[in-house]
């Protein structure tokens, strides 16, 4: 603004500030019959927090203590306890939804009421996960063999869409210093959180040594694992300890077979959706579209630089499209629809590493 004489000058400027910020990827909710826990859920920030809660509520300490202990021992962060006491599972999951930031569901007592109830819970939990772009970490029953476990999971009858949002772990674990075995889902959820924090949600949460664990209750072998690809095994190997030895969802084909791919897409969708709320009621015109494209492109470029996406160049790793004649027709613009298309070349884990040796014999 040019100022030539004394006086008051007013200049009004406005710009839609838009950026996509990474959110939390490993916020766990433990769901089950936890007497004394509020119906709306309660937040637990550490093992000390839980111990304090258990001191005043012995029931929750007995029902949940060993599993939550293994969660924090293996790197878990703040989590929620949501009880079904006096409520249905559907009502408990409404409370989980209201919490707003849960990305992982764990049901330590999944099998407490038998196989039929476990199947019903598995279907409801994975359905909620698929609708909310989260993951359900499930486990098999305590005394099952690999064959029994594999058949039991197949009998759940999960929908094709929901299968990509669930991962099942086998077997139960022997916790150090504790008399009884524990479900593996708590320790696994803690390991997921640790990997997210140290490496990123795109890193497969596998080949990780579990802490506070003396070993699996059932010693599986390569034959067991090859025969039951719907299970993620926890196995003990000489000189390295007890490892999570699997990184698969229950999805049958390559698209969503691996846990880190499903979770990466979940995280990206959450982050972009949250950022684009600021565009609601903005003019549905080229300047808004360019701000959206630029913000999403910057966010995905950062992910590519961190190693989350494949490709030697950004163009090989992802694309962002938005605009009339590109993602929207004239009718979309007139109806107030702003449509953004995003494509990612997600990194896949090296599940099978092969070595080839050749011996060259010199001729005399």
Which residues have CB under 8 Å from 269's CB, separation 6+? 133
Q: What is the pLDDT, as a whole number, of residue 194?
A: 98
The string of pLDDT tens digits covering residues 39-89 is 899 999 999 999 999 888 877 888 899 999 999 999 999 999 999 998 999
Q: What is the pLDDT, as a whole number, of residue 254?
A: 85
Counting as low any pLDDT under 50, the low residues of the chain are: none
Q: What is the pLDDT, as a whole number, of residue 12?
A: 54
Q: How far apart are the first and last CA of the chain?
A: 89
Q: What is the pLDDT, as a whole number, of residue 93?
A: 97
114 by Cβ neighbours in 10 Å (0-12 / 13-18 / 19+) ranks as exposed
Q: What is the pLDDT, as a whole number, of residue 238?
A: 92
The string of pLDDT tens digits covering residues 232-266 is 999 999 999 999 999 999 998 888 999 999 999 99
Q: Of 328, 352, 330, give the one whose Cα is nearest residue 339.
A: 328
Q: What is the pLDDT, as a whole number, of residue 68?
A: 96
Q: Name residue 24's beta-bridge partners.
A: none
Q: What is the pLDDT, as a whole number, of residue 284?
A: 93
């Amino acid at each position: 603004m040019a100022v030539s004489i004394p006086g008051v000058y007013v200049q009004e400027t406005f710009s839609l500030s838009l950026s996509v910020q990474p959110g939390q990827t490993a916020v766990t909710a433990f769901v089950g019959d936890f007497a004394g826990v509020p119906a709306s859920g309660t937040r637990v920030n550490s093992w000390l927090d839980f111990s304090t809660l258990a001191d005043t509520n012995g029931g929750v300490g007995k029902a949940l203590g060993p599993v939550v202990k293994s969660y924090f021992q293996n790197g878990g962060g703040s989590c929620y306890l949501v009880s079904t006491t006096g409520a249905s599972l559907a009502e408990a999951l409404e409370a989980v939804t209201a919490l707003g930031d849960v990305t992982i569901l764990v049901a330590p007592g999944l099998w407490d009421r038998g196989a039929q109830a476990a199947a019903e819970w598995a279907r409801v939990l994975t359905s909620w996960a698929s609708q909310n772009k989260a993951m359900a970490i499930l486990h098999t029953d305590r005394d099952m063999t690999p064959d029994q476990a594999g058949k039991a999971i197949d009998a759940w009858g999960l929908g094709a869409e929901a299968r990509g949002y669930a991962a099942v772990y086998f077997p139960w674990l022997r916790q150090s210093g504790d008399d009884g075995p524990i479900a593996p889902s708590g320790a696994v959820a803690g390991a997921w959180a640790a990997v997210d924090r140290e490496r990123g949600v795109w890193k497969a949460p596998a080949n990780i040594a579990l802490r506070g664990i003396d070993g699996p209750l059932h010693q599986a072998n390569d034959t067991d694992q090859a025969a039951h690809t719907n299970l993620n095994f926890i196995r003990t190997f000489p000189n390295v300890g007890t490892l999570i030895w699997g990184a698969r969802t229950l999805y049958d084909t390559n698209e969503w077979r691996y846990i880190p791919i499903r979770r990466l897409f979940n995280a990206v969708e959450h982050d972009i959706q949250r950022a684009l709320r600021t565009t609601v009621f903005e003019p549905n015109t080229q300047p808004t579209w360019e701000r959206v494209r630029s913000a999403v492109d910057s966010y995905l470029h950062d992910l590519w630089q961190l190693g989350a996406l494949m490709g030697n160049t950004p163009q090989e790793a992802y694309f962002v499209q938005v605009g009339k004649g590109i993602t929207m027709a004239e009718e979309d613009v007139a109806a107030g629809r702003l449509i953004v298309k995003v494509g990612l070349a997600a990194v896949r884990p090296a599940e099978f590493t092969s070595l080839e040796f050749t011996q060259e014999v010199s001729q005399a």
